[in-house]
Structure 1
């Protein structure tokens, strides 16, 4: 029997057509290889496209991120503009109340004693010293901020901890970041604190009308002559504890909220601000103690009786302020309610008795 095979549109005899048994297998292998090469090429193109997109994102991020120098200049300019309010806040923290309390009603409609706000302080200072008097202590404060920004990361850079490798465990990552931030904060505060002491004493001269701390060089010489090198660091410990406490609270609460998903991503920024505000208010009494200790026992009248007792240690200052109810003075600058503790201690020569 003659056998036939079909090649294209023609039907040929088996003898006339060549049958390759391995033809389909070879063609299938070539197709599979071609598909693999195509998949590899597509994957390479996808990786290149992804890398290109990442590079574009990095470029956009760099373009969107402002220069660090201009950010610093903007922050310094804003601080200089708002310095009069910082001046009034320091006077409040020192307990200087040149104007008497007034009777008014609170949010609930109850009759309450209110102390003068920051705007009253600014008007009072301008009446005595003029507009330039509102910027007393500005140079020392700007110098302190500049030194803090320039040298706060010097120790971390020396140790090589500026860019820590991301740890696989979240708790280790949290500890490493908090340790790095604590070192940055401590270094910057240790370098800039002498300028803080000078700035506080320059602003405190308004109380007794002294001119001892009129310049940076003269202020340093006066402090060194009076108390030695340690005089430049009075009030350093409570300020350091306050900043470290705020850092610990904000870092811990933010890490816990991110770990358990308590906050929505859209509300994370607002919640971070609320957490930081609560931490600052919790440790605010230590800021008051730092300001008082920077001035206590100095050559200005604001650091001696009858305006302030002479404290030996910052713990004594904190306990004394808590007993009197003065540990939150200056925390609220525009609606300052006179607490019941201060009203009851009307015979105390260092409290509200000289104001009523």
Structure 2
């Protein structure tokens, strides 16, 4: 009878090592592919993201026009994202639509690599044992434990990514915001970092960090919790369960959206840019001050819709038509023809 290789037999190691390396390479290839796809989509959608960011900080250079809602109520409508992007293109050229792309790409790469490295290192002793079981064999307590472990791992990865990449996020936001005043100090990553340090010191790199953390982590926790509850106690069809995550992600994003508006405004306020100073924006003392001001003006949701946008400032109805009272935000900038 031939000798069977023992657990420490070099021949056994030689046989299993290539297989392990093969799986490792496949996993890395899959991660790289996912990052490449996300990066491509991120760059392709840059013009829409840039327009949305300018909406978030309250820049509305095109006047509202009378229109009606789906129910026939007269309102003042703001231009949709495509008209907004057309204004940006006419004022800044085609490549102006891609402001902040360099910092956006670097931020995406750093975030993707960091998330993978952090989450792969957060391990739990009991998890491997539970994952070897079939899902139908798991008890309710075991399912809850798996949910908690997966959620903690995800939150840990997100927390690290947000803190590590926030300086680059501030660079990107200010690069896009300088479109309003046509400044140039944030034209590159290094020049932008130098300008941020000169204007606000080290803390400037973390302007808007707290509301961003709260928004992202609350959204992730909400999505994970709702998905777990719906899939385990409401929906039984396996095919329907595949759509639960996407639906809950939309709900979580909508509920925590105000935190992202506040984060963006906090990153711009008192930055030395025209966009971060009166009359465009007050100098906020903190993100809580920013939240209170935006909440008082019903502005916490601005930029949330890119197609059906309505003016929420002072307005009156004259002869059945709605007209704005006084100047609308951004009215100091003459619309391009």
> Shared topology, TM-score over 0.5?
yes
TM norm structure 1: 0.76
Give the secondary structure class of the aligned counterpart of 1:112.
strand
Structure with greater contact order relative to length (CA < 8 Å, sep ≥ 6): 2
CA–CA separation in structure 1 for the residues paired with 2:112 and 2:242: 24
Match of 1:322 among 295, 307, 325: 295
TM norm structure 2: 0.80
CA–CA separation in structure 2 for the residues paired with 1:286 and 1:266: 33
Residue matched to 1:281: 254
Residue matched to 1:235: 208
Residue matched to 1:69: 32
Give the secondary structure class of the aligned counterpart of 2:270.
coil
- Within 5 Å, give how 1:15-94 maps onto structure 2: 67-94=30-57
Structure 1 residue 192: Cα displacement? 1.1
Structure 1 residue 70: Cα displacement? 2.2
Match of 2:309 among 330, 336, 350: 336
Give the secondary structure class of the aligned counterpart of 2:55.
helix
Match of 1:99 among 62, 67, 71: 62
CA–CA separation in structure 1 for the residues paired with 2:125 and 2:185: 41
1:114 aligns to 2:77 (yes or no): yes
Residue matched to 1:203: 176
Match of 1:131 among 94, 98, 101: 94
Q: Which moved more, 1:146-155 or 1:207-216?
A: 146-155
Larger Rg: 1 or 2?
Answer: 1
> C-alpha deviations, 1:301-333, integer Å up to 9, x for none?
001100011111101111111110110000000
CA–CA separation in structure 2 for the residues paired with 1:317 and 1:143: 28
1:193 aligns to 2:193 (yes or no): no
Gaps of 5+ in 1: 1-58
C-alpha RMSD of the superposition: 2.9
Match of 1:311 among 281, 284, 305: 284
CA–CA separation in structure 1 for the residues paired with 2:65 and 2:328: 19
Number of corresponding residues? 296
Structure 1 residue 338: Cα displacement? 2.3
Structure 1 residue 71: Cα displacement? 2.2
CA–CA separation in structure 2 for the residues paired with 1:322 and 1:217: 35
Q: Structure 1 residues 262 and 309, CA, compared in 2 at 3 Å: closer, same or farther? A: same
